[in-house]
């Protein structure tokens, strides 16, 4: 008998076809996030689940699905899953690192350029009929050439952003848990980075430790001319504090692809023209999403029939 898999969203057909070769597959046909109750019901008697970052695989869900042997997350971030609980139940959790690195790094650069060069504001300006002709002081922005990019969290995505920034003639400093010896990128403390960087971009996973890492105090350490970019996870930034800092002119602007309580956005941020807001589209390209679906499917195949250890979040769950 084939193992039974539940897929929480109708993902790319090529990935579903792959899954059907190995598994008995049940798919949520609707393009919406399931409620906790629906998620629990759908995972009953399933051996594995392929879920999204919007599926909250918390203690209750994991406890309520005793047959579940594996979780495959369609994301590089896995803060939607209670890893401690998965460890207790010896449930390995898989994720999709690597395949979305370039797409996310590209979108980070898009946000850096959009905020510093006021791209969205300029587009709105034209559409509202305000463009009456070229002028020397129309919608002036900030050069990134020769400026310093500060990267918080130097994993795959941080490094891919650093490479792109170098092509724009920026110098790059980063902070991480330890010095990764990534010359010419300069390893510094978070304090130094906040004080010196012209653009600060977040590329660390969300954990309890870095909840509100960027709070009022840290925002006040930044230059008044600095921009904050977040394509990582919303709760790393205290959104209300960010809105206040922007309103008070303690920061020049922000580019945000993620929010504290998605899909909600702090109402003050919606009013600020120096903020560019995107609906969590870091990895949202046709190719990348297909590759994520294929990797999430392959991770399940590997767990049931193969090597098991690639793209695994919690190797301790496989120890007996
Ligand atoms: C997207 O936010 C991801 O974690 O893949
Ligand atoms: C994600 O791929 C990261 O490690 O930054």
CB 16 within 8 A of CB 37: no
- Name the token pair of 149: 């990019």
Q: Which residue has the tokens 């978070």?
A: 190
73, 75, 76: residue to mutate for ligand 2 pocket, most atoms within 8 A of CB? 76
As a whole number of Å, the CA-based R_g of the chain is 21
pLDDT at 264: 98
Strands ordered across the beta sheet of 24-27: 24-27, 4-7, 48-51, 70-73, 93-94
What spacing in Å lies between the alpha carbon of 193 and ligand 2's midpoint? Answer: 20
How much is the pLDDT for 188?
98
Atom of ligand 2 nearest to the CA of 203: 5
Q: Cα(249) to centroid of ligand 2, in Å?
A: 32
- Number of alpha carbons in the 13 Å side-chain half-sphere of residue 278: 23
Q: Which residues of the chain have pLDDT under 70?
A: 320
Q: What is the structure's pLDDT at 14?
A: 98
Residue carrying the six token digits 């002036």: 140
Ligand 2 atom closest to the CA of 158, numbered from 1: 5
Please answer whether residues 92 and 312 qualify as being in contact, where contact means their C-beta atoms are separated by less than 8 angstroms: yes
Ligand 2 center from residue 159 Cα (angstroms):
9
pLDDT of residue 162: 98
Neighbours of 52 (CB within 10 A): 18
> What is the SS3 assignment for 202?
strand
Report the C-alpha gap between 61 and 266 in whole angstroms. Answer: 29
Query: What is the pLDDT, as a whole number, of residue 124?
Result: 98
Angle made by CA atoms 184, 258, 238, in degrees to the nearest 5: 90
Name which of 315, 242, 300, 307 is nearest 272 in CA terms: 242
Task: Give the DSSP letter of residue 33.
Answer: P
Ligand 2 pocket test target in 97, 231, 233 with most atoms within 8 Å of CB: 97
Residue 13 and residue 11: Cα distance in Å, rounded? Answer: 6
* C-alpha to C-alpha distance for 30 and 9, rounded to whole angstroms: 7
Q: Assess contact for 105 and 160: CB atoms under 8 A.
A: yes
List the beta bridge partners of residue 308.
none
Distance of CA 287 to the CA centre of its chain: 17
- CB-ligand 2 contact for 157 (6 Å cutoff): yes
Ligand 2 atom nearest 100 alpha carbon:
2
**How far, in Å, CA of 33 to CA of 27, rounded?**
12
pLDDT tens across 209-264, in order? Answer: 999 999 999 999 999 999 999 999 999 999 999 999 999 999 999 999 999 999 99
The pTM (predicted TM-score) of the whole model is: 0.96
Q: CB of 288 closer than 6 A to ligand 2?
A: no
What are the tens digits of pLDDT across the range 3-31?
A: 999 999 999 999 999 999 999 999 999 99
In the prediction, which pLDDT does 320 show?
65
Query: Which among 204, 14, 225, 198 has a CA at the least distance from the CA of 104?
Result: 204
**In 3D, which of 214, 253, 217, 252 has the Cα closest to residue 233?**
214
């Amino acid at each position: 008998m084939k193992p039974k898999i539940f897929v929480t969203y109708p993902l790319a057909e090529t990935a579903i076809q792959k899954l059907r070769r190995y598994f008995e597959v049940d798919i949520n046909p609707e393009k919406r996030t399931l409620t906790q109750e629906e998620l629990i019901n759908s995972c009953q008697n399933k051996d594995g689940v392929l879920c999204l970052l919007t599926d909250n695989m918390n203690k209750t869900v994991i406890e309520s699905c005793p047959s579940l042997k594996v979780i495959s997350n369609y994301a590089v971030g896995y803060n939607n899953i209670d890893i401690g609980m998965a460890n207790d139940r010896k449930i390995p959790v898989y994720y999709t690192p690597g395949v979305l690195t370039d797409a996310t790094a590209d979108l980070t650069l898009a946000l850096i350029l959009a905020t510093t060069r006021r791209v969205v504001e300029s587009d709105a300006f034209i559409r509202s009929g305000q463009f009456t002709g070229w002028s020397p002081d129309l919608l002036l922005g900030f050069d990134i050439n020769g400026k310093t990019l500060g990267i918080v969290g130097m994993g795959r995505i941080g490094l891919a952003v650093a490479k792109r920034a170098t092509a724009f003639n920026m110098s790059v400093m980063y902070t991480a848990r330890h010095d990764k010896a990534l010359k010419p990128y300069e390893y510094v403390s978070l304090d130094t980075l906040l004080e010196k960087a012209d653009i600060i971009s977040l590329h660390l996973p969300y954990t309890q430790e870095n909840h509100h890492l960027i709070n009022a105090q840290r925002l006040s350490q930044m230059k008044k001319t600095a921009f904050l970019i977040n394509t990582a996870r919303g709760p790393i930034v205290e959104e209300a504090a960010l809105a206040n800092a922007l309103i008070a002119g303690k920061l020049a602007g922000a580019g945000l692809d993620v929010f504290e309580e998605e899909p909600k956005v702090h109402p003050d941020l919606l009013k600020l023209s120096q903020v560019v807001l995107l609906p969590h589209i870091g990895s949202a390209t046709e190719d990348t999403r297909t590759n994520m679906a294929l990797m999430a499917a392959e991770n399940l195949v590997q767990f049931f029939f193969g090597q098991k250890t690639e793209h695994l979040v919690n190797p301790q769950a496989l120890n007996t």
